Every structure is written in C-alpha cells, then in structure tokens.
Structure 1
Amino acid sequence: MKEVFTMWRHTQMVVLVALSAAIYAAVLIPFKGFVLVPGFTELRPANVFPFVFGLLFGPAGAWGAAIGNLIGDFFGTLGIGSIAGFIGNFFLGLLPYKLWGAFFRRGENMEQNVNSGKKLAVYIAVSVLASAVCAMWIAWGNDVLGFVPFAALASIITVNNAIAGIVLGPILLLLLYPRVKRWGLLWTDIMRPEEVSAPRFKAVGNALAWIGGLGGLIFGLALGLGLYSQGFAAAGFASGGAGSLGIGLGLIPFLLLVIIASFMLGGRDQVEAAEAEEDRVV
C-alpha cells in the first residue's frame, strides 16, 4: 500500500489525482437530480471512472475517486455519511489496479486494457468485486450511523456501480489506454518499483479480497433481510431498519479482510512488467 503515499512525490501523479477528481465530480453533479435514495445516492453513470482511472492511474485514480465523490456530495448529499462515501470510493478506485496483477503470471502481458478475452473477463470480475466492496463500506457506515438500512443501500450501490463499470468501462479503456500510454501517463510508467508494494502471497490476498468483499456483502444482506420482521420483499428497505448492532459488528471481520488483502496485493509486479516491456521495445 505504500504507493498510496509515495505517489505524492510525483507531480504527474498529483495532477492525475486532480484530473480524476474533477472529471468524476463533473459527471456526478448533473445526475444529482436522479435520486435513488434521497440524500444518499442517485443514478451514477459517472461511477465508470473509478474503475478506468484506477487501472490507468493506479493510486492516483483511487485518491481521485474518493476526492471527486466528496466534491459531488457538496451538491446535495454532504453529511457525516460522506466519510463512508470517501472510503468506499477510494476502494472503488484502489481495487481494480490492486487485483489486476493477481490474475496474471510474472512475464505475462499485464497492460491495463481489455483487448483480449482474458483481460475483459478479469476487468468484469474486478469491477464486480470493487462494486461490492465500495457498497459494503458505504452501506455499513450509513447503517451504523442509523441513516439507511444496509440491505437497501448496499444492493442499490452494488448494482449502480457494476452496471456503469461493466457497460461503459471497456469502451472507455479501449479508447483511452492507447492515448494514455502514448502520453506516458500510466501509473506503471511514472512510478518506480521501489516506491510500490510487492505482492505477498498474491493468491491468498486475491482470495481474501473476494471473501471479504462478496462474502461481506452477502452476509450483510442476509443478516439485514432476516433481522427485521418486515417480510422478504421489504426487509432491510423500510425506514427504521438502520442501526443494527448485528450488521455493525458482524461486517467488521469482512472489512478487515479487504484491508489485509489490499496490503497483500501489491502492484510492484505491474511496474516491473511495464519497465521490462519498455526495455524490450528500446
């Protein structure tokens, strides 16, 4: 995870944070009127950007997603729940580049594009997991604060994120990757291997991310749907369902698994692969 901090040494990465945040916020704000949960979330096609910027810009994309979402909150949804939104969107941009390298062997082409069947499949899988983790953080935080029941917010955010990422993301990547690569703005071309965490037990970290992300989401939804005596269709969605001690405490182990996985899934192998490819071309 050290690249999340060492990236601030590079002026280009700082500029990419500002660019990612500005684009994300600029597309979020016009859709604030298309409300799904009043005061908390709305229709968000802009959610494609954390996936794409996370892959292309690495930690700069993660910071940009978090900051851009916070800027967007100033236009209708700002509150203490925005802290959970900041964290959730940070992971929405962080996990795509963290998980990307876990699906490729050393020496295999790791370029952050979807120009092959395998890479498209990896992108879709990563998008689903990142969507679930983002939703889990935001829904858990707002449930603990007593604002919105976990099941309502988590299901809406997961679907909202995943649809935007899966439908729009491949198109954007195919259009942007060659240009970003040509301009030398890929995070793997800017940062040096010693500035980036090395992957440790990559397969284990990948497994922990999936257990923590999808496992936590499923566990939270099951707990919410079974905890409130409102019937299956309404359970966890009606007002008054938030603030459950079971969800507040029960999801902590899953959130910790995601954090642990993020430390285990370094990105140094991707930077080294980019350097090796550059040397080969030269």
Structure 2
Amino acid sequence: MSMLDTISMWKSPKMITYVLLTAALYFGSLYPFQALTFFEGYADFGRVGVGIPIAFSFFFGPAAAWGAAIGNIICDIAIVHVDLSSFFGVIGNFLLGYIPYKLWSRITDKKPDIRNIKKFTLFMGIDVIASILCGVVIALGLYWLGYSPFLPTLLIISVTNSIWAVTIGGIVLILAYGFFSKRNLIYTKQKN
C-alpha cells in the first residue's frame, strides 16, 4: 500500500485547502471536549470530532490524514499539552484520517455513500480498524513514555474512537457525500 499520495498531494492548492479545512474542523470539534479524559489527559473519551477525519477521508483522501494530524497538534498546543506524547498523537491521528479512504478504495470500487447495509457494514469495519491502529500507536507511545498503561489506554482510545467514527463520521458522510460528489470534490473521483 503506497503512501506516495500523502506527499504528492502537497503540489495541489486544492488539497492544501482540504488539509486546512479538515484541521480547522477537527480542532474545533475536539477542543470543547478536552476535559473528558483518563490518565491525566492522555486518553480522551469525549473525542466527538473523530468523525471529521473519518468522513473527510472519504472526501479528501490523504488531505484528511494531514488535516487530522495538524488539527490534533493544534488542539494539544491550545490546551498547553505538547510533549513527546504529541508525536504519537500526530501519527495516530494521521492514520485515523488516512486508513478509511485507502482501505475502502483497496476493498471496493463502490462509492462510499453508505446508503445500503453492505456499504455501512464495510464503513463500520474500516472505522474500527482505523480506530484500533490509531489507538495502538498512541497507547504504545504513552506506555513507552511511562504516562499510562498500554491495554487500558488502547481499549479506551479504540472503543471511543470507533463509537464517534461510526456515529458522527457516518452522519457527516451520509449528509455531505452528495454535496461533495456533485461538485467533483471527491479525491478518488479527481484522480480518475
């Protein structure tokens, strides 16, 4: 699975705009809920905003990955919580925004409008995989840094991210896919 698209997209002003839009909306949807945490702020369960990079991954492809990473670090800066753990947060959130579109396009050529049970089931499975991989990266980082135990952190991040990814991400995808598709703003359509 090549990740060259995460580099080549920086040549496109449109993709840079998508990065900024994703980052702004992700930060805006994370920041209000930062008080809902475990392990002294290292594992959030109120990350309602996780649905943004999940849905935007299907709209903007790799731009959503960069937007998730940037939005997360902006949130860390805003709450004065930047330390070595932020590095793992950037990587984990990058994966959260990258995996959904990449896996979907590898598994099927159907549009991700999730308007039937088969598509919605695939959407849920992909969201759970992305949430778990994000959780693994962050939980390992926090464990290595001695900030929190691995397994509870992994479970909290994976489960809560999955819940918000499927619910909020699903709602955003259902409501906005037609809008972006009609305007030819879907990344996979632009590539073809």
**TM-score range, shorter-chain basis?**
over 0.9
Distance 1:36 1:101 in 2: 35
Q: CA deviation at 1:159?
A: 0.9
Distance 1:79 1:58 in 2: 28
> 91, 96, 114: which is aligned to 1:92?
96
Once the two structures are overlaid, the 10-residue window that deviates more, 27-36 or 6-15, is 27-36
Deviation above 3 Å: which 4+ runs of structure 1? none
Distance 1:41 1:158 in 2: 10
Preserved CA contact (<8 Å) 2:42 2:142: no
Helix, strand or coil at the partner of 2:10: helix
Q: TM-score, length-normalised on structure 2? A: 0.93
Helix, strand or coil at the partner of 2:38: strand
Give the letter aligned to residue 96 of structure 1.
P
| Match of residue 148 from structure 2 | 148
| Match of residue 172 from structure 2 | 172
> 45, 48, 59: which is aligned to 1:45?
48
Distance 1:163 1:96 in 2: 15
| Match of residue 134 from structure 1 | 134
Question: Who wins on radius of gyration, i.e. which is larger?
Answer: 1
Helix, strand or coil at the partner of 2:35: coil
| Match of residue 269 from structure 1 | none
| Match of residue 59 from structure 1 | 62
Give the letter aligned to residue 141 of structure 1.
G
Distance 1:16 1:101 in 2: 19
Give the letter aligned to residue 90 of structure 2.
F
Q: CA deviation at 1:146?
A: 1.3
**Aligned residues with identical type, % of pairs:** 36
Q: CA deviation at 1:158?
A: 0.5
| Match of residue 86 from structure 2 | 82
- Superposed counterparts of 1:101-112, under 5 Å: 101-104=105-108, 108=109, 110-112=110-112
> In the comparison of the two structures, how many residue pairs are matched?
188
Distance 2:145 2:122 in 1: 35
Give the letter aligned to residue 82 of structure 1.
S
Distance 2:38 2:69 in 1: 20
Preserved CA contact (<8 Å) 1:12 1:185: no
Once the two structures are overlaid, the 10-residue window that deviates more, 48-57 or 58-67, is 48-57
| Match of residue 6 from structure 1 | 8
Preserved CA contact (<8 Å) 1:32 1:75: no
Distance 1:189 1:166 in 2: 23
Segments of 5+ residues of structure 1 without an aligned counterpart are 193-274, 276-282
Distance 2:75 2:17 in 1: 19
Name the structure with the higher helix share. 2
Helix, strand or coil at the partner of 2:133: helix
Give the letter aligned to residue 64 of structure 2.
G
Q: CA deviation at 1:170?
A: 1.8
Distance 1:48 1:144 in 2: 28
Preserved CA contact (<8 Å) 1:20 1:64: yes
Q: CA deviation at 1:95?
A: 0.6
Q: CA deviation at 1:145?
A: 1.3
Tell me the C-alpha RMSD between the 2 structures.
1.3
Q: TM-score, length-normalised on structure 1? A: 0.64
Preserved CA contact (<8 Å) 1:56 1:112: no
Preserved CA contact (<8 Å) 1:135 1:158: yes
Preserved CA contact (<8 Å) 2:95 2:133: yes
| Match of residue 24 from structure 1 | 26
| Match of residue 36 from structure 2 | 34
Once the two structures are overlaid, the 10-residue window that deviates more, 43-52 or 11-20, is 43-52
